Amino acid sequence: MSRSSWTGRLRDAAARELPPEKLLPDRQPAYVASWIYVFGVLTLAALAFIIVSGTLLALKGPGWWHGSAVGHFVNSLHLWSVELFFTFMVVHLWGKFFMASWRGRRALTWVTGAVTFLASVGTAFTGYIVQENFASQWIATQAKDGMNSVGIGAFWNVLNFGQMLLWHVTLLPAAVIALTGLHVLMVRVRGVAPPIGIDPATGEARTAMTGSAPTR
Amino acid sequence: MILGWPGGGSAPLAVGLDGTGKYIHWGVIQLSISNLVVIGVVVALFVAAILLPFPAGRDSEAPNRTDPPDDAGSQP
Name the DSSP letter for residue A152. -
Residues A45 and A59 in one domain: yes
Q: For A155-172, what is each residue's pLDDT tens digit?
A: 999 999 999 999 999 999
Domain housing A161: 102-192
| B42 domain-assigned | yes
| B62 domain-assigned | no
Residue B62 in this model has a pLDDT that exceeds 70 = no
What does the pLDDT read at residue A205?
A: 78
Q: Concatenate the DSSP letters of all residues of A38-98 into one string.
A: THHHHHHHHHHHHHHHHHHHHHH-HHHHHHSHHHHHHHHHHHHHHHHHHHHHHHHHHHHHH
Distance CA B71, CA B76 (A): 11
Searching chain B, which residue's CA lies closest to the CA of residue A25? Answer: B65
Distance CA B66, CA A30 (A): 11
Distance CA A7, CA A14 (A): 10
What is the C-alpha end-to-end distance of chain B, expressed in Å?
Answer: 72
Q: Which of A55, A42, A49, A58 is nearest to A79 (CA)?
A: A49
Q: What is the pTM of this model?
A: 0.81
Q: For B23-45, what is each residue's pLDDT tens digit?
A: 999 999 999 998 999 999 999 99
Residues A73 and A88 in one domain: yes
Residues A150 and A185 in one domain: yes
Determine, for residues B5 and A87 on separate chains, whether the beta-carbon distance falls below 8 Å. Answer: no
Q: Which of A38, A49, A59, A110 is nearest to A83 (CA)?
A: A49
Helix (H, G, I), strand (E, B) or coil at B12: strand
Distance CA A194, CA A210 (A): 17
Number of domains in chain A: 2
Residues A70 and A93 in one domain: yes
Domain housing B45: 21-50
ipTM, 2 decimals? 0.82
Q: Concatenate the DSSP letters of all residues of B15-68 into one string.
A: S--SSPPPEEEETTEEEEHHHHHHHHHHHHHHHHHHHSPPPP-TTTT---SSPP
Residues A114 and A187 in one domain: yes
| A110 domain-assigned | yes
| B72 domain-assigned | no
| B74 domain-assigned | no
What does the pLDDT read at residue B1?
A: 43
- Please tell me the distance in Å from A165's CA to the nearest CA on chain B: 23
The per-residue pLDDT string of chain A (216 residues; one tens digit each, 9 = 90 and over) reads 567 899 999 999 999 988 988 888 888 888 899 999 999 999 999 999 999 999 999 999 999 999 999 999 999 999 999 999 999 999 999 999 999 999 989 999 999 999 999 999 999 999 999 998 899 999 999 999 999 999 999 899 999 999 999 999 999 999 999 999 999 999 999 999 999 988 777 777 776 444 443 433
Determine, for residues B56 and A28 on separate chains, whether the beta-carbon distance falls below 8 Å. Answer: no
To test the contact with chain B by mutation, choose from A24, A32, A35 the residue with the greatest count of B C-beta atoms within 10 A, namely A35
What residues of chain A, 102 to 141, have a C-beta less than 8 Å from chain B?
A: none
Residue B12 in this model has a pLDDT that exceeds 90 = no
What does the pLDDT read at residue A169?
A: 95
A95 touching chain B per CB within 8 A: yes
Number of domains in chain B: 1
| B27 domain-assigned | yes
Residues of chain B in contact with residue A73, where contact means CB-CB under 8 angstroms, are none
Residues of chain A in contact with residue B60, where contact means CB-CB under 8 angstroms, are 30, 33
Q: Which long-range contacts (CB under 8 A, 24 or more apart) does B23-32 make?
A: none
Residues A106 and A188 in one domain: yes
Question: Which H helix or E strand runs over A207?
Answer: helix A206-210
